[in-house]
Amino acid sequence: MTAGKKAAVIRGDGIGPEVVDSMLRVLKACNSQIEIVMCEGGSEQWERNGRRDASFIPDATMKALEECDACFKGPTTTITDPKAPRSVAVTLRQKFNLYTNVRPIRTYRRITPDKNLDFVCLREATEGLYAGIEMQITDDVAIAIRKITRQGSRRFANATMKWAKDHGLKKVVAITKRNILKTTDGLFLDEFLQAGKAAGIEIEEIYIDNMMQQLVVRPEQFNGTALASTNLFMDIVSELAAGVTGSVGLMYSSNMGDNYAMFEAAHGSAPTIKGQNKANPTATVLAGAWMAGYLGERHIQDAIFSATEQVIEDGRVVTFDIGGSASTAQMTDAIIEQAKAKLRK
């Protein structure tokens, strides 16, 4: 069991508190033994506190995060004002060196009967354009530096090969724009080729523009593979892949480092439906289940994943974005009922 395991949880902004509460209800109903430490974070609390902090994450929250074994981040809103802090996700990835973002991509028969997808998107999460190195050169010129290092590319490539081997995948697709970004993407690909050779895994390179077309035209070709790329490219690729599955509300993710992990839904804070009890809880619930598995409760993870799939495929108690009329709470209750039944078997 998970005796002594602690997870810090940030409810976030917009629909964050609603879907995070759903996730916590599911874990509690499944008798999770993880100690949950609730924390503040996000732009809404930053605004409430008079914009005084230099970060969307208060010092007390950061201390709590450091004292836990993993964390969960609810959806948060990032203010686009150049003077506003970095996003919560970017801050945490860099703080805890969470260099591999993982987004499994899969479809459900009821939602996309014409597609049957099962692959994974892996994203280098600490470098690239998200390093946040920007400069105003003149009143009319600003630049951003795309930082790619051999060390960062190597550890990400090795993590990608480990994921592929652990999940029985024979091929990794490295997504670049090496015909234009010859030096940075050249370095990135070189590390993937070396890691693939050492692991006995085939590496295929596809340029980012062609990749987007292929995901729309024939996404099934990537089943059984791991797609991997630099920070911005994979942010875009994984969003398109999520759209192909029918709803971004289904997409969950993790941010993995060597000794720590952050779990989150792949979607944003959706402020237009805040407080309406209509947000799809799936992504947050599945991310929370993954966190439970990471912290030693694999039986709970498996039960929640199976229960959620059953509820979605049944289609009677699901939210509006996937063809139903159920509230967030009602869909959560349905998942709880199925998960508890599976754990009793």
How high is the pLDDT of residue 49? Answer: 83
How high is the pLDDT of residue 219? Answer: 96
CATH of domain 1-96+260-345: 3.40.718.10
| Cβ contacts of 60 within 8 Å, gap of 6 or more | 39, 40
Q: Do domains 1-96+260-345 and 99-259 have the same CATH topology?
A: yes
Domains of the chain: which residue ranges?
1-96+260-345, 99-259
φ, ψ of residue 305 in degrees (nearest 5) = -60, -45
How high is the pLDDT of residue 37? Answer: 98
User: Is 0.85 topped by the overall pTM?
Assistant: yes
Q: How many residues does the chain have?
A: 345
Burial of 96 (0-12, 13-18, 19+ CB in 10 A): buried
CB contact at 8 A, 107 and 117: yes
Sheet strands side by side (includes 35-39): 35-39, 6-10, 70-73, 261-265, 252-256, 100-106, 118-124, 225-229, 171-176, 202-207
How high is the pLDDT of residue 3? Answer: 63
Q: Which residues of the chain have pLDDT under 50?
A: 1
Rounded CA-CA distance 107/258 in Å is 30
CB contact at 8 A, 241 and 219: yes
Rounded to 10 degrees, what is the CA torsion of 230, 233, 234, 236? 160
How high is the pLDDT of residue 84? Answer: 85
Rounded CA-CA distance 20/4 in Å is 22
| Cβ contacts of 121 within 8 Å, gap of 6 or more | 102, 103, 104, 105, 226, 227, 228, 234, 237, 238, 241
Topology, domain 99-259: Isopropylmalate Dehydrogenase (3.40.718)
How high is the pLDDT of residue 1? Answer: 45
CB contact at 8 A, 73 and 262: yes
Handedness of CA 204, 147, 240, 211 (dihedral sign): negative
